[in-house]
Structure 1
Amino acid sequence: MAGVAVCATLTTLTAVTAVTAWSPAGAQTAQAVPSESGAAGAADVATVARQVTLPTGERVVLDERGGVAGVISDAGSGTDRAGGQELSVDGYDTLTRDGETQVIPHSARAGIEDGTLDPGAFNVTNPGHDLSSPAGRDAAETATVTVAPTDRAGEATASWYARVMDLETWERTYVEPTGPDDVTVDIELPVGEYAVYALVDRLEGGEAVGGDWLLMPHASVTGDTTLDLPAAAAKDIDLTFEDEPSASSSMTIAWEMLPPGADTGFGASLSTPGQLPGGIGTAQLGEPSEAYELNSSVYKRVMDGEREFHAADARSEGFYTGLTLHTDWQDMARITVEAGKTLKGDRGFLLTTPSVNFSVWSEDTLLPIASEVYVRADDILWEHSFRATNGAHGAYTTGEMRHRPGEERRETFNTGVFGPVISTADDGLFRSGNTLHGAVSLLADGAGHRTWDPSGEGEALYDGAVTTLYRDGQEYATAEGPIDFVEFEVPAEEAEYRLVTSIARDSTVSSVSTEVVAEYTFTSAAGQDGSVPAYAVRYAPELASDNTSPAGESVEVPVTVQGSAAGADPASLDVTVSVSLDGGATWTETPVHDGRITVDNPPAGGSVSFRAEVTDQDGNTLTQTIIDAYRTR
């Protein structure tokens, strides 16, 4: 994937979302940057579960809840107007209804309109079922609607496009002039309630240099009518930073309309890559209907070599009619974000994203990488993440966090020791009724960042994984995959259990943590819902960015035991650590003093492996093995 720009989205799509990157409306093109539009200020991070290939070749990335996490085309089909960066898709519209999702790339519109493509084939949940067809309305009750935008001077213009959204069916009608004399466009619509949004170009010498994005959240069509969309009502969106560098920048403006209390709705986002000489303005024209709530957000990113500047704003009631937001140095937090590598030639990219609507592009590069990230520190939550694009195609994230003005911190990704983690109430082993399940993230990096597979293919993180459950000394069940992705139905009666979960990775995936095994023993019965006693052992040697330690030196390795057992006293645990210098063929018990062990590193090119045995005062045990925890140089 060298040189391919990668679109990354971390939020769960729960809306009909039109995603458009700014380009001259009069050119009748829309280079779209994939984005996810959830309620402003309430993004929901979800794990990518699978991919679906559309009839036109694009791959839709779905999260574990079935939401759209992005749309990818490896070949790329657009151009970033600011820097010539290759984009990965040409734009898409998404419709979600009754648990089904339909994703239609803009490139497929012509084929759908002339009948050569079946819109139902773009339903990624229930192929063949077309969600875009109107439902429950008499098509004979129609009216002529004239869409009539005007420019900032109040003059008629043919340089615009508009979308009309049916508030009942969520069907979207595309409205664009077909020639220079089409300053208004007539369309036939069923009588009903609608929302309308439009982009009107700002022109200089006949060329588009900016635009005004207008939203009319409610238009009642009871008969023939004209929808006036005046760009003169718009005010500029102006997000700036103190000492802002003259560098590559992008801004995303988004809105979403939701029925009160609902988690599904529809919305749109506009991405404006680069510095538009004419600027971008916005306006809300009228109030939404009582059947909908309107949320909006805006996000700006400036990339200046190894420095990044980020600011975002969210509005829980209404859309922006302009916004001025200046960020001084004293308003920002500085985060040093870096990522190591596990293989020679590893590639990947870093991302910083706000909790509000966003659309973020980043180009992968050789690892290791580092960036100084400055974020506006206010009520907006920020998430820092890393994604690898070859080898172990894993992604690591901090989760959403609130920064403080003046804060300085460091986030290091993709550096070992990679192994299990049990550091929150959501980690560990659990019993729910007669179901045993768990979440121990066998490949969390050295900082404890949990990993997931953004490709949705699972095996990209490892070559093989298996979990086996033993009950009263007998093998009870085996499932492919680590414990995070499997569960077991067990009898209600009390029994002694042994659960063994493991992953393996060969040299094409990773040079470290090539095998990770966690073996737990515990007693469980029905009525004991909640956390099952379980532990994880974390190691924190000082490693270089390529996950190596100096050959032939004695190094101290901090050792920490994490536990999910309620009320467990770490001081009461019996902990034994052993070290192997031959890939696990032989082991030497190594004493733990003051939470540390001392390891005599082997010659260059060797590896160090760890095995820990933990027993608590109730007899519950963990045996955890990490083969090739780090290598020597």
Structure 2
Amino acid sequence: MRTGLRRGPEAGPTGRADPVRRRRTRLVATVLCTTVTGGVLAGTGSAAAATSYELTVVMLGRDGAPAADNDLFVADYENGTTTTVSEPSGTARVELPGGDYLLQSAVHAGERTDRLTRPWLRLNGDTTVVLDARTTRPVDVTVERPDARLVQGMVGASMLTGKGTVRVPVVLFDDFADVGTGQTGPDAPADRFVGSAQFTLAVPDADGAVTDSPYSYSLAWFTPGRAYTGTRRVRDAELATVHTVNRPQEDERSGGKFAVATYTRLPNVSTLAPSLPVRLPGVRTELFTTRDTSWQLELSPQTTPSPDPPRWWQTVLARAYRAGHRYREVWNGGGVFGPALPGPESLVEWAVAYPGALGVRVPLYSAGADVWGSSAVDRAHTVGYRDGQPVCESDRPAECFVEGTPPAGDYRLRTEAIRGHTDLSTRISAEWAFRHAGPVPGRTTPLPLQVVRFDAGLDEANTAPGGRLHPVTVTVQRNPGSVRAGVRSLTVDASFDDGASWQRAPVTLSGDSGLVVLRHPPTGHVSLRARAVDTAGNSVDQTIVRAYRLR
């Protein structure tokens, strides 16, 4: 799933498990999410098909009798069309055009769900398939730490069709005894179907929550060509171990942390995961599987009442770890909250020209170069121009959308955002100037925007020593996928009176990065201003008032 403008103006990071079906008090859910356009059909075939056949699916329960409580999902590999059926008789009949299909049944009995998948069925005549819940196997994972308990398990799959990726309905559960999985029939091609599972474990508090859990496990596996089945035993030495320091942005006492696994060998194949409560400020050791996996990570506040979207979030879209290695991460600390253009290109559309529109949505409050950071603001204003004429305007930070085919021209985008719920990055402004060469038919073109990132070597509280010389690394970060250009010039100014006056700081430039040395006063805040121009003439002027504290 791509991030940025397509997320919608109010959307937060995705990947949280959001069940649409609950069975009593257990968390057992079926979720359907597709990235293709197409209707959900109930027992109908494609009107465009020349020849249709009857597919009969018999669903049996664990007692061998027809299962009255069932869900059947059928999807077409050619165009991503999906069919969902619930048939109390246990036998579903669907007319479908000839082709290659995926079948999946979920048979429910009390708290238990048995999920059977046939990854590949070639339909070239009337066909009967029996999906028997008695053939499923237990799902379980065992870790070294004996006090770890399952918070949520997820078993799902994704199929790559001729029109995009379809996420097959998943089953969510909080007790391994509540689920069984199995496969019937042949494997699918490994580049067309991927089974998946993710298990989140932690130590329950006295009240059953995991807010004060000293550690968590995020364990995910992908099975190309096959449905995920069976049990696993995992040793800590096989995992990446990440010591995390989680800090608030305001006076929050708790937050939500989630980790969603993405399969690195194929596009748009990922899992679902719960948001784990975490103490703010606090520390936690997080353990991750690593094989063919990158992780989307997010921290956001938990408050009462809880606004949607949250008042702030910090999201890493794709972070890879190595098995057996140890890492340390500080969330909301150690960095300047400022504009960023994180990748990877396959997941983001921060500033793009579509065939019929042009849009910009630059994250303004990112604590790191690979972080998508967002914040509530007291007020914001963004306006865009083409060849000196206004073409878009919004009251959102660094967000503007131009309807209609974007012609070639010289574009300029100005934004300012002010926030008062923290003493850091209280005012951020930026102005981008860039040349757009015009639309490319049928293609989305990343625009040549750039931002300036500051690494001031801050501590966990976002402070630096006062009363001394202090180095700051300055880096120009370009919009992922945009035409490559070098840095022609980079200037930096510093202010120690909240932007009332500025002092030029000479830059030692090397490639896309430079180094400045600031003379800090004993206390207060440091504000930073920069201008970068690339070798194609595109530029950014950027100001962050109260970028960091002095101690």
TM-score normalised by L of structure 1? 0.63
For residue 615 of structure 1, report the CA deviation from its aligned partner: 5.8
For residue 172 of structure 1, report the CA deviation from its aligned partner: 2.0
Amino acid at match of 2:168: G
Q: Where does structure 1 lack aligned partners over 5 or more consecutive residues?
A: 1-11, 13-43, 53-60, 82-86, 103-130, 177-184, 202-206, 454-458
**Contact 1:47 1:452 survives alignment (8 Å):** no
The aligned counterpart of 1:578 is 494
Map 1:545-556 to 2 at 5 A. 545=461, 547-548=462-463, 553-554=467-468, 556=470
- For residues 404 and 601 of structure 1, the distance between their equivalents in structure 2, rounded to whole angstroms, comes to 41
2:149 corresponds to which of 237, 247, 254 = 247
Amino acid at match of 2:218: H
The aligned counterpart of 1:336 is 243
**Contact 2:352 2:358 survives alignment (8 Å):** yes
**Alpha-carbon spacing, 1:72–1:242, altered in 2? closer, same or farther (3 Å):** closer
Amino acid at match of 1:448: A
For residue 462 of structure 1, report the CA deviation from its aligned partner: 6.2
**Contact 1:349 1:363 survives alignment (8 Å):** yes
Between 163-172 and 92-101, the greater mean CA deviation after superposition: 92-101
1:376 corresponds to which of 274, 289, 305 = 289
Amino acid at match of 2:86: Y
**Alpha-carbon spacing, 1:289–1:559, altered in 2? closer, same or farther (3 Å):** closer
- For residues 421 and 505 of structure 1, the distance between their equivalents in structure 2, rounded to whole angstroms, comes to 17
- For residues 491 and 45 of structure 1, the distance between their equivalents in structure 2, rounded to whole angstroms, comes to 24
Amino acid at match of 1:354: A
**Contact 2:32 2:168 survives alignment (8 Å):** no
Amino acid at match of 2:219: A
1:417 aligned onto 2:336: yes
Map 1:245-394 to 2 at 5 A. 245-257=147-159, 259=161, 261-265=162-166, 267-276=168-177, 280-287=179-186, 294-304=193-203, 305-320=213-228, 322-345=229-252, 347-356=254-263, 357-365=270-278, 367-389=280-302, 393-394=311-312
Query: Any idea what SS the aligned residue of 1:626 has?
Result: strand
**Alpha-carbon spacing, 1:483–1:133, altered in 2? closer, same or farther (3 Å):** farther
**Contact 1:144 1:187 survives alignment (8 Å):** no
The aligned counterpart of 2:210 is none
- For residues 358 and 96 of structure 2, the distance between their equivalents in structure 1, rounded to whole angstroms, comes to 51
- For residues 165 and 431 of structure 1, the distance between their equivalents in structure 2, rounded to whole angstroms, comes to 37
Amino acid at match of 1:542: L
1:479 aligned onto 2:386: no
1:467 corresponds to which of 383, 398, 406 = 383
Query: Any idea what SS the aligned residue of 1:355 has?
Result: strand
**Alpha-carbon spacing, 1:436–1:45, altered in 2? closer, same or farther (3 Å):** closer
Amino acid at match of 1:270: V
Task: Show CA shifts across 1:508-540 (max 9, x none).
Answer: 4x4321211123456777799986485524242
The aligned counterpart of 1:149 is 60
For residue 174 of structure 1, report the CA deviation from its aligned partner: 1.8
**Alpha-carbon spacing, 1:281–1:93, altered in 2? closer, same or farther (3 Å):** closer
1:517 corresponds to which of 429, 442, 446 = 429
**Contact 2:419 2:426 survives alignment (8 Å):** yes
**Alpha-carbon spacing, 1:337–1:384, altered in 2? closer, same or farther (3 Å):** farther
Amino acid at match of 1:464: A
1:442 aligned onto 2:364: yes
Query: Any idea what SS the aligned residue of 2:293 has?
Result: coil
Amino acid at match of 1:162: N
1:626 aligned onto 2:509: no
- For residues 48 and 387 of structure 1, the distance between their equivalents in structure 2, rounded to whole angstroms, comes to 21
1:397 aligned onto 2:355: no
1:161 corresponds to which of 66, 69, 82 = 69
For residue 628 of structure 1, report the CA deviation from its aligned partner: 2.2
- For residues 361 and 43 of structure 2, the distance between their equivalents in structure 1, rounded to whole angstroms, comes to 41
**Alpha-carbon spacing, 1:80–1:400, altered in 2? closer, same or farther (3 Å):** farther
1:599 corresponds to which of 504, 520, 528 = 520
For residue 273 of structure 1, report the CA deviation from its aligned partner: 0.8
Query: Any idea what SS the aligned residue of 1:595 has?
Result: strand
Task: Show CA shifts across 1:401-431 (max 9, x none).
Answer: 3322222222333334111235779699788
**Contact 1:421 1:538 survives alignment (8 Å):** no
Query: Any idea what SS the aligned residue of 2:237 has?
Result: helix
Amino acid at match of 1:374: L
- For residues 227 and 439 of structure 2, the distance between their equivalents in structure 1, rounded to whole angstroms, comes to 50
TM-score normalised by L of structure 2? 0.71
Between 379-388 and 430-439, the greater mean CA deviation after superposition: 430-439
**Alpha-carbon spacing, 1:631–1:394, altered in 2? closer, same or farther (3 Å):** same
**Contact 1:310 1:375 survives alignment (8 Å):** yes
For residue 567 of structure 1, report the CA deviation from its aligned partner: 5.0
- For residues 491 and 143 of structure 1, the distance between their equivalents in structure 2, rounded to whole angstroms, comes to 51
Q: Where does structure 2 lack aligned partners over 5 or more consecutive residues?
A: 204-212, 264-269, 509-514
1:49 aligned onto 2:7: yes
Query: Any idea what SS the aligned residue of 1:270 has?
Result: strand
- For residues 270 and 523 of structure 1, the distance between their equivalents in structure 2, rounded to whole angstroms, comes to 48
Task: Show CA shifts across 1:550-574 (max 9, x none).
Answer: 7x654725131315484535xx635
**Contact 1:382 1:400 survives alignment (8 Å):** yes
Task: Show CA shifts across 1:119-161 (max 9, x none).
Answer: xxxxxxxxxxxx65846679xx99997945253xxx4468873
- For residues 45 and 612 of structure 1, the distance between their equivalents in structure 2, rounded to whole angstroms, comes to 27
Query: Any idea what SS the aligned residue of 2:319 has?
Result: coil
Amino acid at match of 2:501: T
**Alpha-carbon spacing, 1:548–1:241, altered in 2? closer, same or farther (3 Å):** same
**Alpha-carbon spacing, 1:273–1:159, altered in 2? closer, same or farther (3 Å):** farther
Query: Any idea what SS the aligned residue of 1:504 has?
Result: strand
**Alpha-carbon spacing, 1:621–1:99, altered in 2? closer, same or farther (3 Å):** closer
**Alpha-carbon spacing, 1:175–1:530, altered in 2? closer, same or farther (3 Å):** closer
Task: Show CA shifts across 1:448-467 (max 9, x none).
Answer: 233266xxxxx846631313
Give the total of aligned pairs.
Answer: 498
1:611 corresponds to which of 529, 533, 536 = 529
**Alpha-carbon spacing, 1:601–1:436, altered in 2? closer, same or farther (3 Å):** farther
Map 1:226-237 to 2 at 5 A. 228-237=130-139
Between 340-349 and 325-334, the greater mean CA deviation after superposition: 340-349
- For residues 100 and 514 of structure 1, the distance between their equivalents in structure 2, rounded to whole angstroms, comes to 45
